[in-house]
Structure 1
Amino acid sequence: MKNIKKLATAAFITVFTLSIAGCNMIEKTPEAIANSAVAVVNGEKITRGDLDKNPNTMQLLSQAKQQYGEDYAKNQDAVSTIKSQKEQILDDMITNKVIEQKAKELKLLPDEKKLETNMNNQIAQIKKQQFGNSTEQFDTALKAQGFTEESFKSMYLSQLKDQEIQQNVSNSLTKNVKVTDKQITDYYNANKDKFTEQTDKMHLAHILVKTKAEAVKVKARLDKGEDFAKVAKEVSQDTATKDKGGDLGTISYDDSQYDAQFMAGAKKLAKGAISDPVQSSFGYHIIKCIDKQEYPVKALSKVKDQIKKQLEDDQKSKLVSQKVQEWKKAATITKNEKNIM
């Protein structure tokens, strides 16, 4: 689960950075609105006030004021965007509430005194790093955000509590996760290009068409000796590269911008080779490997610990995500979307 290890400190530093730039936070809402429920999780309310005080909401509203001005609430595009993003923030808050309730059941709630000490230490670090230990500047920033020191500490403590609860739950759920030597070896053998001394690279060109039948015809023309660049200029559907003869330039093996199926097909090619049709989410490609540079693979002994940690983290993340989804499915959750804005 993406938020299971979110650090509250980073969010607050972002909020303070915005305040230094002169951003103002949303005006205080009437008490009745603040106390209205935006969601109820197993009988526990999440209020509009809780949602609006969430650091992610506060940052969202500051950005809206920057982009649309102080009257952003009168702009339909702004309102639509804010509502959509607040719904996502609320979903995260609902997840956190479910986890908190389960943590209480499992006796995994953090020690309040230790939390308070941690909070004071982190706030001291923020004062030092962001304000040069100036209490006056720190208080000015709080006031600009609509906080007193007391209300800020209350919110910060709540964020730290969520963070530690999530970590405690994660640790409890994943304490028996183990990765075997066979799993490590299998992963290493299947992903050797990820463990080279330097990142492997390849210079590629491609011809993109819509159907496999078209791709087969293109390959047949190339097999008969037609020039790759000439054919690309004639038939390729990739407008960004067709005028360059389909040239994509040099691509690193770990470049995540390219379709995974396309990359898998390209990596198999020897220098100078042309592929059979390769399907991707964009259509069918004929790929030419103009050049490639592959480096020696590190010995398994050098990357074993790295692989072990990665596989453990992947297993833990998957396990926690599955368990939290089970808890949410079993929970009684209602949302009052009309109260979000």
Structure 2
Amino acid sequence: MKNIKRLVAAAFITVFAFSTAGCNMIEKTPEAIANSTVATVNGEKITRGDLDKDPNTIQLLSQAKQQYGSDYAKNDEATSAIKTQKEQILDNMITTKVIEQKAKELKLLPDESKLKSDMDKKIDDIKKQNFKGDTSQFDAALKAQGFTEESFKTMFLAQLKTQAIETNISNYLAKSVKVTDKQIKDYYNANKDKYTEQPDKMHLAHILVKTKDEAQKVKARLDKGEDFAKVAKEVSQDTATKDKGGDLGFVNYNDSGYDAQFMAGAKALKEGAISDPVQSSFGYHIIKCIKKQEYPVKDFNKVKDDIKKQLESDQKSKLVSQKVQEWKKAASITKKEKNIM
């Protein structure tokens, strides 16, 4: 199924639904559709209009139109994908509503007039930095994304409000976050490769196959002395590297672009060593560490404050996530999914 990206926009989508009463077809008005309830959160409604004006919904439909044409609503594949995405968008709206209600209860709502002032300034900055202050170019760019300036401002203001609420709640909950010296030292000792004078790196090559049995056969060939690059060119299923003999070049120890299991297996190798089969989300790898470049670890006292900030941030994020789930679980939430489409 072709992917329909979720983007950021805001507008109103007019959709007609039909119901039968006896032998008569009754067409719902756009107003009736917009006012129909798709969910309630502690008695507060989220309407179809709210869902359709959500920026994610608008750009979802804009992408659908580009991908499937203006009659995308008649395409089963498109409507199925749209329904799934709209359900996810609605879940996010419900979560946002729960957070906003809690912020109101805790008196943590941001000042609306300040938000509007911040929004106007940010939009002016966007116009100056990206469009040299030319409003017509800015409007044209918005139109290409399915925006008007009014709908863009509605979206932008809602985003700023959500961000401000999340920040206020995070700071409120942070009062209970405490990081001890022992936690900082333990983290330092367990993650010294994050605090080297320069990033540690290793020159790697690998051979990727589907099964463990295939990987074991590859390892047996290498143990008998076959050339790693030659075997990689013959059997590796990584099309990006097989023609280069599996060569990945230098990879930083903390490169998050690689599978965690692959990286753990690679870092465990000594220079010149070849691994046993290492399973990742892509299959099974035989990894060769061609060279390592490791640097001295910074003194603990030089990085202590940075580690403390990192641990505090991690704890705050975890605490906020836990609290939001608690609040959502305690909330009275009903959904009327028949009204989504």
Shorter-chain TM-score tier: 0.7 to 0.9
Residues 147-186 of structure 1: matches in 2 within 5 Å?
Answer: 156-186=156-186
Letter in 2 for 1:90: L
Q: Which moved more, 1:227-236 or 1:163-172?
A: 227-236
May I ask how many residue pairs the two structures share in their alignment? 320
Q: Which moved more, 1:125-134 or 1:96-105?
A: 125-134
- 2: CA distance, partners of 1:200 / 1:334: 51
Q: Which moved more, 1:182-191 or 1:234-243?
A: 234-243
Gap change, CA 1:105 and 1:76, over 3 Å in 2: same
Q: Deviations over 1:261-306 (max 9, x none)?
A: 1111111222211223333334443322122222333333333333
- 1: CA distance, partners of 2:139 / 2:217: 71
Q: Deviations over 1:15-56 (max 9, x none)?
A: 59xxxxxxxx66555111111111111211111111122222
Q: CA deviation at 1:335?
A: 1.8
Q: Which residue of 1 aligns with 2:3?
A: none
Q: Unaligned 5+ residue runs, structure 1?
A: 1-10, 17-24
Gap change, CA 1:26 and 1:230, over 3 Å in 2: same
Q: Deviations over 1:245-275 (max 9, x none)?
A: 4433333323333221111111122221122
Residues 290-301 of structure 1: matches in 2 within 5 Å?
Answer: 290-301=290-301
Letter in 2 for 1:194: K
Taking structure 2 as the reference length, what is the TM-score of the superposition? 0.77
Gap change, CA 1:59 and 1:272, over 3 Å in 2: same
Letter in 2 for 1:300: F
Q: Which moved more, 1:199-208 or 1:228-237?
A: 228-237
- 2: CA distance, partners of 1:135 / 1:216: 63
- 1: CA distance, partners of 2:155 / 2:270: 58
Indicate the percent of aligned positions where both proteins have the same amino acid: 77
Structural RMSD (CA): 3.5
Q: Would you say the 8 A contact 1:199–1:295 is kept in 2?
A: yes
Q: CA deviation at 1:133?
A: 5.5
Q: CA deviation at 1:109?
A: 2.4
Taking structure 1 as the reference length, what is the TM-score of the superposition? 0.77
- 2: CA distance, partners of 1:232 / 1:125: 51
Gap change, CA 1:297 and 1:164, over 3 Å in 2: same
- 2: CA distance, partners of 1:156 / 1:221: 59
Residues 213-232 of structure 1: matches in 2 within 5 Å?
Answer: 215-216=215-216, 218-232=218-232
Q: Would you say the 8 A contact 2:61–2:82 is kept in 1?
A: yes
Q: Which residue of 2 aligns with 1:317?
A: 317
Gap change, CA 1:233 and 1:180, over 3 Å in 2: same
Q: Which residue of 2 aligns with 1:254?
A: 254
Q: Would you say the 8 A contact 1:26–1:62 is kept in 2?
A: no
Q: Does 1:75 align with 2:100?
A: no
Q: Which residue of 1 aligns with 2:202?
A: 202
Q: CA deviation at 1:191?
A: 1.9
Question: What SS is found at the alignment partner of 1:321?
Answer: helix
- 2: CA distance, partners of 1:193 / 1:312: 20
Question: What SS is found at the alignment partner of 2:286?
Answer: strand
Q: Would you say the 8 A contact 1:26–1:61 is kept in 2?
A: no
Q: Which residue of 2 aligns with 1:4?
A: none
Gap change, CA 1:33 and 1:289, over 3 Å in 2: same
Gap change, CA 1:216 and 1:162, over 3 Å in 2: closer
- 2: CA distance, partners of 1:143 / 1:263: 44
Q: Which moved more, 1:116-125 or 1:172-181?
A: 116-125
Gap change, CA 1:178 and 1:222, over 3 Å in 2: same
Question: What SS is found at the alignment partner of 1:205?
Answer: strand
Question: What SS is found at the alignment partner of 1:290?
Answer: strand
Q: Which residue of 2 aligns with 1:100?
A: 100
Gap change, CA 1:31 and 1:225, over 3 Å in 2: same
- 2: CA distance, partners of 1:311 / 1:107: 27
Residues 10-49 of structure 1: matches in 2 within 5 Å?
Answer: 15=9, 27-28=13-14, 30-49=30-49
Question: What SS is found at the alignment partner of 2:319?
Answer: helix
Q: Does 1:333 align with 2:333?
A: yes
- 2: CA distance, partners of 1:234 / 1:138: 53
Q: Which residue of 1 aligns with 2:51?
A: 51
Q: CA deviation at 1:321?
A: 0.6
